[in-house]
Structure 1
Amino acid sequence: MDIEQARFNMIEQQIRTCDVLDPGALEALAQVKRERFVPAHLQALAFAEIEVPIGKGQTMLEPKTAAKALQALQLKRGEHVLEIGTGSGYMAALMAARGAHVCSLEIEPELAAQARRNLDRAGVDNVLVEDADGAAGWAEHAPYDVIIASGAVDSIPANWREQLKVGGRLFAFVGRAPVMRAILVTRVSASEYREHGVFETVVPALKLATQSQFVL
Structure 2
Amino acid sequence: MMRTSSDDTPESDYSGLRRDMVAAVAAMSEELNPVPDMPGLSQPVLDALGRVPRHLFVPDIERDFAYQNRPLPIGYGQTISQPYVVAFMTELLKLKPGSRVLEIGAGCGYQTAVLAEMGAEIYSIEIVEPLAIQAEQTLHNLGYDRVHVRPGDGYHGWPEHAPYDGIIVAAGASHVPQPLLDQLKPGGRMVIPLGESYAAQELLLIKKDAAGEVQRQEVLPVRFVPLTGRH
**Fold conserved between structures, TM > 0.5:** yes
Question: Does residue 59 of structure 2 align to residue 39 of structure 1?
Answer: yes
Question: Does residue 126 of structure 2 align to residue 115 of structure 1?
Answer: no
* Residue equivalent to 2:24: 13
List aligned pairs for 1:22-61, cutoff 5 A. Answer: 22-61=42-81
How far apart in 1 are the matches of 2:69 and 2:208? 33
Task: Specify which structure has the higher proportion of strand.
Answer: 1
Q: State the secondary structure of the residue aligned to 1:156.
A: coil
Q: Which runs of 4+ in 1 moved over 3 A?
A: none
* Residue equivalent to 1:79: 99
Q: State the secondary structure of the residue aligned to 1:124.
A: coil
List aligned pairs for 1:158-169, cutoff 5 A. Answer: 158-169=178-189
Question: Does residue 182 of structure 2 align to residue 182 of structure 1?
Answer: no
The structural deviation recorded for 1:189 is 4.0
Q: 1:72 to 1:191 in 2, by over 3 A?
A: closer
* Residue equivalent to 2:155: 135
The one-letter code sitting in structure 1 at the alignment partner of 2:27 is R
- The two structures have a TM-score, normalised by structure 1, of 0.92
- The answer to whether the 8 A contact 1:106-1:133 is kept is yes
How far apart in 2 are the matches of 1:36 and 1:54? 11
The one-letter code sitting in structure 2 at the alignment partner of 1:155 is H
Deviates further, 9-18 or 89-98 = 9-18
Question: Does residue 216 of structure 2 align to residue 205 of structure 1?
Answer: no
CA displacement 1:103-125 (0-9 Å, x = unmatched): 00011110011001110222111
- Provide structure 2 residue ranges, at least 5 long, that are not aligned to the other structure: 1-8, 31-39
* Residue equivalent to 1:193: 214
The structural deviation recorded for 1:9 is 1.2
- The two structures have a TM-score, normalised by structure 2, of 0.86
Larger relative CO (CA 8 A, sep 6+): 1 or 2? 1
- The answer to whether the 8 A contact 1:166-1:187 is kept is yes
The structural deviation recorded for 1:99 is 0.4
* Residue equivalent to 1:125: 145
The one-letter code sitting in structure 2 at the alignment partner of 1:131 is P
Question: Does residue 125 of structure 2 align to residue 105 of structure 1?
Answer: yes
The structural deviation recorded for 1:14 is 3.3
- The answer to whether the 8 A contact 1:36-1:122 is kept is no
How far apart in 1 are the matches of 2:186 and 2:216? 14
In the alignment, which of 152, 163, 172 is matched to residue 172 of structure 2? 152
Question: Does residue 19 of structure 2 align to residue 3 of structure 1?
Answer: no
Q: State the secondary structure of the residue aligned to 1:151.
A: coil
Q: State the secondary structure of the residue aligned to 1:81.
A: strand
The structural deviation recorded for 1:49 is 2.9
CA displacement 1:196-215 (0-9 Å, x = unmatched): 12212222223x2122xxxx
The one-letter code sitting in structure 1 at the alignment partner of 2:172 is A
Q: State the secondary structure of the residue aligned to 1:152.
A: coil
